């Protein structure tokens, strides 16, 4: 465990009494302390372009009364600084009185180990491996024009102090390995990107020459795109492949089921609890308890243990994802979904690992059933407008489907759809559920947090494909 009070004039006892003193007239709040170390090593254009190390230390002090949140953060952990924050919080929440909500379930279950991935593998061996990655990928032929490979690792210790002296801690490792390849053939250039990662040591992901599979996959995607033709434009059937394409679930459905948008009634889902929002056979969960996954957490950033939250069961809306604030105001319980990017950010209800569970159909059956449509295997970024429900995402690998058969690859096109109605258009759910490789970062209100997604192949009856061929 990290000791936040060893090199400062602020003792743990002082901190606890300032917290209790400040929060005793509030509904909720906490002092959140964070010490994070991270590294990034990038090979690009045949050279180590960047090797950097970051060490970040700070606190965020939050007071909540009714719907009002007062937040103050600083990277100076000192008595003076914490007192200044306390004054800032008290000035916002003056003359309020509330009941302090102090229930936190305990957990002993660990979903990842307390390791420091940065120190576990020497910098030298990481540099050597990046060089090997570069050589291996470039050896695939003269069409390889550019290779970028990177390691990023993080070790984050957090501590939460509540009024009354309750203390909760977590230590979170996270790593990612990424390869991007640019190919050039007959004057045409295309890129392919692939990566892996999660909450274990680098070697867990790189062992047995696993890194070669990452290079192979990035090269394969770029090669497919070299032969692609322009994408069609208009409404058509879409088959989504398993795994990472579940970013569609994340964008189209997930964000709209976060507690804050529903409490504020700005989500298109806010009055649909208990109603049918998806076809029969569609079950979606958000699970923070998967071992070593990128989106997993032992406790969330308010100290609540994470859980497997059923969002949609057999097409019926069952639960929203909640942090303490929104749960209290909506008369429900926190689902352990309160997350923040760092001590510099306020807590928001966020996704963890969002998954559509298996149905009974094979991917083959789905493709056979389509006369004209597209088969989308992988995506780049996605985005949603919570209020109107419209969402988009960009294909990075997709094929046309003609008369029940997979045809030529097609150029990166944007797919656009409507969140509340898209799941009603899901006509077949596959039996091949897959987790994504561990690369997702979700952005909300300017805060990025690591997340995971999973799904089997699904058939969507109609979506608009934003190609250039009318």
Partner 1 sequence: MVKDQDYLKKTASFCIDLSKKLGATDVTAEVMHSISETVNFRNKKLDESDRSDSLGLALTTYIGKKKSSISSSNINKDNIKTLVERCIETTKITPEDEFNSLPDKDLLAKKINDLNLYDDDHIENNEKIEYLKEIEDAAFENKEIINTESGFSENKSNFILANSDGFLNGYKSSSFSASCVAVAKDSNDNMERDYEFTSTRHLNDMLKPNKIGKIAAKKTIQKLNPKKIESEKISIIFDKRISKGILSTFASAISSSSIARGTSFLKNKINEDIFSPSINIFDKPNILKGLGSQYFDAEGVKNDELKLVDQGVLKHYLVDTYNGKKLNLKSNGRSGGTSNLFFEKGSISYKGLLKLNPRTLYITETIGHGSNMVTGDYSVGANGFMVEDGIFKYPVSEITIAGNYKDIFKNITLADDLEFKYSTNAPTMLINGMVVAGK
Query: Which 320-359 residues touch partner 1, going by CB under 8 A?
Result: 344, 346
Q: Both ends of the chain: CA-CA distance in Å? A: 60
Residue 154: CB minimum distance to partner 1, A = 14
Q: Which residue in the set 88, 101, 169, 447 belongs to the binding site for partner 1 (CB under 8 A)? A: 88
Determine which residue in the list 5, 20, 69, 358 makes contact with partner 1, applying CB under 8 A: 69
406 is an interface residue for partner 1 by CB under 8 A: no
Binding residue for partner 1 (CB under 8 A) from 3, 9, 135, 235? Answer: 235
Return the residues of window 93-112 that contact partner 1 according to CB under 8 A.
none
**Least distance to partner 1 from the beta carbon of 283, Å?**
26
Among 58, 242, 288, 336, which residue sits at the site for partner 1 (rule: CB under 8 A)?
A: 58
Nearer to partner 1, 304 or 394 (CB): 394
Query: How far is the C-alpha of 397 from the C-alpha of 382, rounded, in Å?
Result: 14
| Contact criterion met (CB below 8 Å) for 253 and 384 | no
Q: Does 387 bind partner 1 (CB under 8 A)?
A: yes
By CB under 8 A, the residues from 35 to 54 that bind partner 1 are 44-45, 47-54
Buried b (16+ CB within 10 A) or exposed e, 109-118: eebbeebebb
Compute how many other C-beta atoms are within 10 angstroms of the C-beta atom of residue 236: 20
Largest CA distance in the chain: 73
Contact set for partner 1, span 3-22 (CB under 8 A) = 7
Asked if 227 touches partner 1 (CB under 8 A), the answer is no
| Cβ at position 356, least distance to partner 1 in Å | 21
How many residues sit close enough to partner 1 to count as binding (CB under 8 A)? 78
Q: Does 116 bind partner 1 (CB under 8 A)?
A: no
Subset of residues 171 to 190 that bind partner 1, contact rule: CB under 8 A: 182, 188-190
Judged by CB under 8 A, does residue 125 bind partner 1? Answer: no
CA atoms within a 13 Å half-sphere pointing along the CA-CB vector of 375:
23
3-state secondary structure of 86: helix
> Per-residue DSSP letters for 256-321?
GGBHHHHHTT-STTTT-TTSB-S-TT--EEEES-STT-TT--SB-TTSPBP-EEEEEETTEE---B
- Residue located via tokens 């308890």: 289
- The residues with which 446 forms a beta bridge, in sequence order, are none
Instruction: Please say whether the dihedral angle defined by the alpha carbons of residues 29, 343, 91 and 6, taken in this order, is positive or negative.
Output: positive
* C-alpha span between 336 and 339 (Å, rounded): 8
Among 31, 70, 311, 351, binds partner 1 (CB under 8 A): 70
Question: Smallest distance from the beta carbon of 106 to partner 1, in angstroms?
Answer: 30
CA 274 – CA 39 distance, rounded (Å): 45
Q: Which of 105, 141, 164, 381 touches partner 1 (CB under 8 A)?
A: 381
Q: Which of 123, 272, 330, 406 binds partner 1 (CB under 8 A)?
A: 123
365 lies in the binding site for partner 1 (CB under 8 A): no
User: Could you say whether residue 119 binds partner 1 (CB under 8 A)?
Assistant: no
- Please report, as residue ranges, which positions from 434 to 463 form the binding site for partner 1 (by CB under 8 A): none
């Amino acid at each position: 465990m990290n000791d936040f009070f060893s090199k400062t004039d602020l003792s743990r006892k002082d901190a606890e009494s300032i917290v209790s003193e400040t929060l005793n007239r509030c509904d909720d709040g906490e002092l959140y302390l964070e010490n994070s170390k991270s590294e990034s090593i990038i090979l690009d254009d045949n050279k180590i372009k960047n090797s950097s190390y970051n060490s970040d230390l700070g606190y965020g002090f939050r007071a909540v009364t009714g719907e009002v949140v007062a937040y103050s953060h600083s990277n100076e952990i000192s008595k003076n600084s914490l007192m200044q924050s306390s004054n800032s919080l008290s000035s916002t929440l003056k003359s309020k009185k509330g009941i302090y909500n102090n229930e936190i379930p305990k957990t002993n279950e660990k979903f990842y180990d307390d390791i420091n991935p940065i120190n576990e593998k020497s910098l030298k061996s990481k540099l050597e491996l990046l060089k090997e990655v570069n050589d291996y990928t470039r050896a695939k032929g003269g069409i390889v024009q550019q290779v970028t490979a990177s390691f990023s690792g993080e070790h984050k210790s957090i501590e939460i102090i509540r009024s009354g002296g309750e203390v909760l801690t977590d230590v979170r490792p996270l790593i990612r390995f990424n390869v991007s390849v640019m190919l050039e053939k007959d004057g045409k250039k295309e890129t392919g990107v692939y990566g892996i990662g999660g909450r274990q040591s680098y070697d867990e992901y790189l062992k047995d020459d696993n890194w070669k599979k990452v290079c192979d996959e990035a090269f394969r995607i770029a090669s497919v795109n070299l032969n692609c033709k322009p994408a069609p434009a208009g409404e058509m059937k879409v088959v989504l492949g398993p795994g990472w394409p579940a970013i569609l679930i994340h964008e189209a459905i997930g964000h709209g089921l976060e507690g804050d948008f529903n409490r504020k009634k700005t989500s298109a889902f806010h009055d649909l609890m208990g109603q049918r929002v998806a076809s029969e056979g569609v079950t979606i969960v958000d699970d923070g308890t998967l071992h070593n996954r990128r989106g997993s957490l032992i406790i969330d950033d308010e100290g609540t243990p994470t859980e497997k939250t059923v969002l949609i069961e057999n097409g019926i809306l069952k639960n929203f994802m909640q942090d303490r604030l929104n749960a209290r105001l909506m008369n429900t319980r926190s689902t352990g979904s309160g997350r923040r990017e760092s001590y510099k950010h306020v807590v928001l209800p966020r996704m963890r690992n969002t998954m559509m569970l298996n149905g009974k159909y094979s991917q083959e059956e789905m493709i056979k059933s389509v006369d004209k449509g597209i088969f989308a295997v992988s995506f780049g970024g996605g985005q949603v407008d919570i209020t109107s429900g419209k969402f988009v995402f960009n294909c990075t690998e997709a094929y046309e489907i003609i008369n029940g058969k997979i045809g030529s690859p097609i150029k990166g096109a944007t797919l656009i759809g409507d969140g509340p109605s898209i799941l009603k258009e899901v006509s077949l759910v596959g039996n091949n559920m897959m987790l994504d490789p561990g690369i997702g970062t979700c952005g909300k209100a300017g805060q990025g947090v690591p997340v995971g997604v999973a799904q089997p192949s699904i058939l969507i009856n109609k979506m608009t494909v934003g190609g250039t061929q009318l």
